[in-house]
Amino acid sequence: MTRQIVLDTETTGLNPGSGDRIIEIGGVELFNRRLTGRHYHAYLNPGRSSHPDALKVHGLTDEFLADKPRFEQIASDLLDFVREAEIIIHNAPFDCAFLDAELERMGLPAFRQHVPQVTDTLLMARTQFPGKFNNLDALCKRFGIDNAHRTLHGALLDAELLAEVYLSLTRGQDSLVIDLDTPQRQAAVDHQPLQSFDLPLTRPSDDDLAAHDAFLQLLDKKSGGRSIWRPTPKPTDSPNAEKSMQ
C-alpha cells in the first residue's frame, strides 16, 4: 500500500459514550512515504460545550465553533478523502471511538469498515521505546522534529507533526525505490533487472590511495597492530614464496 492518511481529531472531552463530540478533524496525505500537499481539515459545531480541561488543550471556544458545520455535513467528504488509504493515528482507539460514535449517529458503519487498515503510532512508539514518554511532544523531541509552534493542540498541525514522527519511527522500512512518485513508475523499476542499470565505476586517484594507506597506518598505530582493515598478504604474495615453492 502506497497511500496513507495521517489523521488527528480534537474533541469536547474524553468520552464519546457520555456525549462528547468531535470539534476538529485534520489529515495529511502520504504517497510512497512523501507528503503530497493534499490535506483535509474541518472545524465542527458539536452542539455542546467543551469540558474546561479540553478547552485548555485545544482553545476552540463555543463562539468560534457556533457557525461551523455539523459532522454529518462533512462526513461524505471525509470518507472520500480517507477511502482506500492506510490510516495512521496516534492512540487510534481514542480517535476511532469518536469517529465511530459520529458515524453511528448517521446510521453508518464504524470507521475501520471504511478503510483497509488503521495503524496506531502510539503502539509502535511503545514497542520501540518501552517505559518512556511517547506522546507527540516527547516523540518530536526524541526525533529532533521542530514543534515549537505547537502552543495549543490543533488537528491539522498535529497530523503534520505525526507524519514526520511516523516516518522517523519507520525509517528502517525505506526501500531503494522510495522516491518514485507513482505506482506505475515504481512497478517499472521493480520489474527491471539490476543488470540493465549502467552503474559508473570511479577508480581512486593516486592521492586517494595514498590518503587511504595513511589512514590504515593510523588505524594500525592506534590499535597496536590489531587493525583488521589491512588485508593479510597471501603466501603467494610474499617475496620468498616463489623460492620456497622451488
C-alpha triplet 54, 57, 60: angle, nearest 5°: 75
Please tell me which residue in 39, 58, 149, 153 is annotated as part of the active site: 153
Grid look-up 519507520 returns: 170
CA 69 vs CA 14, 46, 63, 75, 205: distances in Å? 21, 9, 13, 10, 68
- Residue 26, CB half-sphere, CA atoms under 13 Å: how many? 17
Is 45 in contact with 68 (CB distance < 8 Å)?
A: yes
Known active-site residue 153: yes
CA 202 vs CA 98, 118, 121: distances in Å? 58, 46, 43
Cα separation, 79 vs 82, in Å, equals: 5
* Residue positions annotated with a catalytic role: 153
